[in-house]
Structure 1
Amino acid sequence: MSSTASWPALSEEHPLLKLHARLPTILESAQHSRIWCVQLASSSPPPFDTLLILQKYLRSNANDLDKAEEALTKTLKWRREFGLDQEGEKAKEGVDGEEFKGLGVITEVGDAVEGSKVVTWNLYGVVKDKEATFGDVDRFLRWRVNLMERAIALLDLPSATTPIPDHGAGPDPYQMIQIHDYNNVSFLRMDPTIKKASGAVIELFSHNYPELLSRKFFVSVPFIMSWVFQAISLLLSKETTRKFVVLSYKTNLAKELGGNLEDIPVEYGGKGQPLIA
């Protein structure tokens, strides 16, 4: 059920209202109207959750209306073509398999100030067969998208009541944390199979999941391998890379995450249950 909250009054010239006025054209072009558990609606007054989505696209494009419209249209078309937002088993095709077991985990960390934080974990050290896990890029992408969509569902955007500030006016409260753990992963040579799959994820996510990342941690990374992440940073915007944190020791992660230590696995400096038993 959508939130009954009201957005603060906006002037007719506000970019958010202008983008909402373009929504009928966007939905007609995309032939798809659902994203991140939200049913986009062009009705007046604009639904709160619809404004949340539009605001994310405006913020990610520095309030450029044309770019925001183009980006949202492309995302909705991609979601339709990728088969997202479907009901039943078809929506889960290709996301289950032994090759992905233990690779992705979703948790939440309670925080008295910021509220609950959604955290997605990618544990690359559990991969036994690189070719089986990463070799079929399309299958890996489908698995990775499914993990992201499940994490977004925990943000519960349809029930949100706090508006997202305008571009440059404050942080977006509806974002998550991503953690990539490279424990037991060799950095002596970048495996081409993993490189190809990782590149595909970076490209797809940069276009279709804007303004959803608050911070991204790379843990268990040797000091001498920081250049790898500098290279990755060249593929992304400065706005994105400023959220990156590289940690050589995973036990330092708890201090960076903050919040309730009981929600943070003991191997990462918290007091919670191990992430993988």
Structure 2
Amino acid sequence: MNASPRPSVLANMSLELRAWNIRRKALLMGEVQGQGYVGQALGVADVLATAWFHAMDYRAEDPEWEGRDRFYLSIGHYAIALYAALMEAGILPEDELETYGMDDSRMPMSGMASYTPGMEITGGSLGHGLGIAVGAALGLKRKGNPAFVYNLMSDGELGEGSTWEAVMSANQWQLDNLICIVDFNNQQADGPSREMLARGPEAPKWAAFGWHAQEVDGNDLAALVAAFDTARALTDPKPRVIICNTRMCKGVDFLEAREITHFVRVEPDEWAKALAKLDEGKPQ
């Protein structure tokens, strides 16, 4: 397996600007429908920027290229964030942005593999993504394909039994081509994740199951780059997990300042204000 870190796919733009672009596209799509999981999209943008523009190998002109690294979105309601990343990567055309969530759009509000180039799996029934990723990683190893499988899952999925079955299976099969990314924003539908079934610390739990575990600030690009590089470069025959502590609504201060819940409501007159606040912090 080629486990050495690789340069950005498109190195002529900073990761900071990539993340800003992802946030902005997600807000524009949310404005189209007047709703959407924009809190999660703003929070996870740095993670997506690092994955797509630093760590992963793919061909924008050929999303089905057999040698590509696979990116599995277990959290189907985060689709708005992944669509923004796919547009930024050149896999989805930006002129489709205004079709988000509409009839016949290739960008439904919950991710579906049958509709969208670059959307590898249909997510949304939470707790299943990592199991699918385990199967894919095992299949790639048996075919001698050196590609990595990345699985982005939510902290809420840590309370699903199927997640831990997949965790055990990945260790059993020594899936060193599997990198799980946990977006830990401490919010799920029933309340703060730490008050449900995600009482920390998380990294020791994964390590106890035989994984190489890292926990980082998911809004710190330098920390994310180092974590992704480490995960790819390891030579131990074990799966890898990066637990990313993120802040929902990151980049839009008046949304960050609210009492955050699983679904952040943005009022009709606030979309333009949110874009303006984001624009104030545009990287140079």
TM-score, L = length of structure 1 = 0.30
Q: Which has the higher contact order (CA 8 A, sep 6+)?
A: 2
